Structure 1
Amino acid sequence: MISQKEYEKVETDFKAAQAQYEVAQAQLKVASSALKQAQTELKDTIIYAPFSGYISAKFVDPGQRAYTMPPTDILELIDISKVKIHLDLPERDLPFVKPGAKVEIRSDAFPELKLEGKVNRIYPKVDPSTRSFRIEVLMDNPKGILKPGMFVGARVFLGKEEALVIPRDAILRAPGTGIEYCFVVIDDTAQRREVATGIREENIVEIKQGLREGELVVSSGGQNLKPGAKVRINKTVSL
């Protein structure tokens, strides 16, 4: 048995302890909320790259404040494990270029390397000023050899279709007309023959119209000839 006074004291002490507990719980919630906010802010100070690559540009300095709204550009990250190459080709090649065609890439910076890619896209527009069209080549870039902005040379493989070709030096152009022609040799006489050309490679050009297989063509010095001039064949070359 305890007295009423003792009971009231115990009850008062209990209520005081309970109040202190509730205050402590509230303080714990506030502290937990502050901790989560601090953890979030700390996490926001660390930016993780969305993919592996190289930093190509930095836009802020250490210690400079960055914001999420409006967003602050911090750096530029690029992935060059695969690269896209844009090539401009003459419009006469348009019928022959197909998606997936092999493309051989060369760079003056690395002349010993021979890289290969494939035609990934053919743009549907011809540039009226250059009479050329653009293709996109996709290729693997081992060890990041090729860099964005570099100039490269390319050779597009257009298939194995049979074609009649002659040396590029054999093709002449009539001044002011755009007409192309060459000289063929018949009975030791030079005869001018207008031709329609197609695909051009480094040293040869496709003849689409104007010549027949087996005809003798003057491969050099044609600019000095006149129709009907007598010629002497020193040698013939097979292409």
Structure 2
Amino acid sequence: MRAHPQRPRPSRRTLRALSVAAAGTAVLLVAAGCSSDEEEPTIGTGTVGTGDVEQVVDAPGQVQPRASSVIEAPAAGTVATLQVTDGQDVQAGQVLMTIDSPAAVQALETARQADAEAAASGTSQSSSAQSPAQLAAQQRRAQRDAEARFAEAEQQAQQIADPAAKAAALAAVQSSRTQYQLLAAQTQALVDQVNSGLGNLDSAVESLGQAQRIQTQAAVRAAQATVDALTVTAPIAGKVSLGSTGGGGSSLPAGAESLLSGSGVQLPQGALSGEDSGAAGAPVIAQGAAVTQGSTLVSVIDASTLSLTADVDETDVLQVAPGVAADVTIDAVDGASYRGTVTSIDPTAQSGGGGAVTYTVRLSYDGGTAADGQPAATPLPGMTANVSLVVASAQDVVQVPASAIVRAGSGNGSPDADSVWVVTGGEAQRREVTVGIRGTSAVEITDGLSDGEEIVTDGATDVTEGQQVP
């Protein structure tokens, strides 16, 4: 959101300055140039005072947990065992549930069989049984098969819930892909040599067999990782939030969905896809519930340490820096005030509606105070907040009400500089001033005014040079 200067809770000095100005304020109804049907402008005066001024950038925010992790089903199946309840505290590595997935087990058996066949083929292949043309054709088929198997292995690895296990599986697939590519290039070079009459066909056949074995072994490892992931463990310590029974997938038993889809039976929209699974009040996953690959099983949220984020408009974010303090209110906690401190600013822009661009500012959560002065209730992760970032402040400075400033080029203002109307001998005289920090209700004056001078504080844009202001 666009920054607008805001004045904080005033100090005693600020209160004194405001009370002096209020005590010296006069109101004048100027009738000149106004008909009886026009509203007469109100002109108010006051004296220049000193006090504290703050400039604030306001932005919408949210309470964030220390960490959170969403665990998705690595394969289609049913919940075989459920060992936690919704809201339960768990430790990292603790078993949460197990998934029964015949499809994942079958995929592992298929991968093992393909690997065994590749191993047997590598030991039985003979160059006498193949011509160079046949070897080249076999290599092309192997290349296509390898790419398909590596892609499938990578997809399986992506579905592993545990971040460490997923990273290890993806690294293994990539390592195997690299080895295969090196051997495939070596095989191609040997085939080229054979075709030119310079190479040995046995060496080319052996190299191709080794390349094929690498991709079948990678497929076995990926399938094994998927089966291992059917035992779902907590990646972090925290509180469990079970997914809904739909979980983004069908509530039908595994395998029944495809049969029913082709039977001609008409079901309500979303009945198979689980489009309504996130509706309020949807029951959580229970033992025996069906899940689809990629559906949400459980979330683990670590709220042991809270933080805050604020979406700051692009026009204001350059004013924000680490260390800037913030006043925070939580929508769900009436009357309480919270505190935060900027820790970092994300460099990646976020696009919103209407072309708006914001940047995520991250803040520490520094506690809060309730309306009765007691410690405020601790908010929950995900609660909405209003964050007021104090981007500039000055203490014990010359200040005037924001309404006293006639901005440069606006209304009755000077085209080149900000100005105020100084009242001398009952006559209004324009004086250019240098403005420092602009607060919502008070503005710092760094040059052009002195404490105690009388100025127009209300209706400044309606005043003209030399106008009598009693």
Normalised by the size of structure 1, how large is the TM-score? Answer: 0.57
The answer to whether the Cα contact below 8 Å between 1:57 and 1:77 also exists between their aligned partners in 2 is no
Structure 2 counterparts to residues 8-23 of structure 1, below 5 A: none
Secondary structure at 1:199 match in 2:
strand
Structure 2 counterparts to residues 76-225 of structure 1, below 5 A: 76-80=299-303, 81-86=305-310, 88=312, 94=319, 99-122=322-345, 135-140=361-366, 144-145=378-379, 147-148=381-382, 150-156=384-390, 158=392, 161-173=395-407, 174-175=410-411, 180-225=418-463
Secondary structure at 1:169 match in 2:
helix
Aligned counterparts of 1:146 and 1:213: Cα–Cα separation in 2: 47
Structure 1 or 2: larger strand share? 1
1:181–1:79 Cα change, 3 Å: farther
- Once the two structures are superposed, residues 94-116 of structure 1 have per-residue CA deviations (whole angstroms, 9 ceiling, x without a partner) of 3xx65324322123443311111
Percent same amino acid among aligned pairs? Answer: 23
Question: How many pairs are equivalent?
Answer: 187
Secondary structure at 2:290 match in 1:
coil
| Unmatched runs of 5 consecutive residues or more in structure 1 | 1-39, 233-239
Aligned counterparts of 1:45 and 1:93: Cα–Cα separation in 2: 47
Structure of greater relative contact order (alpha carbons < 8 Å, 6+ residues apart) = 2
CA RMSD across the alignment = 4.4
AA aligned opposite 2:362: E
- Once the two structures are superposed, residues 80-135 of structure 1 have per-residue CA deviations (whole angstroms, 9 ceiling, x without a partner) of 541222253765983xx653243221234433111111121256799xx99x9874
Aligned counterparts of 2:238 and 2:377: Cα–Cα separation in 1: 13
Structure having the higher Rg:
1
The answer to whether the Cα contact below 8 Å between 1:182 and 1:195 also exists between their aligned partners in 2 is yes
Aligned counterparts of 1:50 and 1:124: Cα–Cα separation in 2: 27
**How far off is 1:48 after superposition?**
2.1
Aligned counterparts of 1:180 and 1:77: Cα–Cα separation in 2: 55
AA aligned opposite 2:337: K
Structure 1 or 2: larger helix share? 2
| Unmatched runs of 5 consecutive residues or more in structure 2 | 1-225, 249-284, 350-354, 368-375
Normalised by the size of structure 2, how large is the TM-score? Answer: 0.32
1:57–1:92 Cα change, 3 Å: closer
Q: Report what 2:241 is aligned to.
A: 55
Picking from 42, 65, 85, the partner of 2:291 is 65
The answer to whether the Cα contact below 8 Å between 1:185 and 1:191 also exists between their aligned partners in 2 is yes
AA aligned opposite 1:203: S
